DNA sequence: ATTCTAACA
DNA sequence: TGTTAGCA
């Protein structure tokens, strides 16, 4: 796991901050946890601590709810996403591979990087 | 001041 | 889901 993903997975936000960031009530946020849709960590004093990924997850849940999904329905959505990820893993076509291929395409097909800019002919002003 | 669990008008 | 009670 790289630094960026590591930071996003760090549980450092108390529920009060999560409330402000998601516009969800404490009641809802805690309830979704009992429904096993989010899994916040716990601090020493038993306080729930959320990560940025948890924030994204809560916002997603919010959207699914607006689309008419119920708790178990949303749970199934994430179950499928997990199965999907496992399938891709077995096929060795991971997200990292996709990004690697895309970057190669961009570098060859023409041009938006500083390397190329420095090689362009100078123009007088 | 903030969050937690449990319970209910 | 909201709200309130009684703790930590």
Residues with Cβ within 8 Å of A50's Cβ and at least 6 positions away in sequence, in order, are A11, A12, A13, A14, A15, A17, A18, A38, A40
* Closest nucleotide over all strands to A16 (CA to C1'): B2
Chain B nucleotides reached by a protein CB under 7 Å: 2-5
- From residues 55-84 of A, which are strand B contacts by CB within 7 A? none
Residue A57 has pLDDT above 80, yes or no: yes
Write out the DSSP string of A72-96: HHHHHHHHHHHHHHHHHHHTT--HH
Q: Where are the domains of chain A?
A: 3-119
**pLDDT tens for each residue of A89-123:** 777 666 676 677 777 777 666 555 555 445 455 55
**pLDDT tens for each residue of A115-124:** 544 545 555 4
Q: How far is the CA of A84 from the C1' of B5 (A)?
A: 37
Residue A39 has pLDDT above 90, yes or no: yes
Mean pLDDT of A58-63: 98
Q: Which CATH class is domain A3-119?
A: mainly alpha
Residue A68 has pLDDT above 80, yes or no: yes
């Amino acid at each position: 796991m790289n630094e960026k993903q590591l930071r996003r997975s760090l549980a450092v936000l108390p529920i009060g901050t999560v409330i402000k960031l998601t516009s969800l009530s404490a009641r809802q946020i805690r309830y979704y946890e009992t429904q096993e849709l989010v899994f916040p960590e716990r601090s020493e004093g038993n306080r729930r601590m959320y990560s940025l990924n948890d924030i994204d997850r809560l916002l997603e849940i919010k959207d699914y709810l607006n689309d008419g999904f119920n708790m178990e329905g949303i749970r199934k959505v994430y179950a499928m996403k997990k199965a999907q990820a496992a399938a891709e893993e077995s096929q060795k076509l991971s997200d990292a591979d996709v990004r690697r291929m895309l970057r190669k395409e961009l570098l060859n097909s023409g041009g938006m990087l500083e390397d190329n800019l420095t090689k362009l002919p100078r123009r007088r002003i």
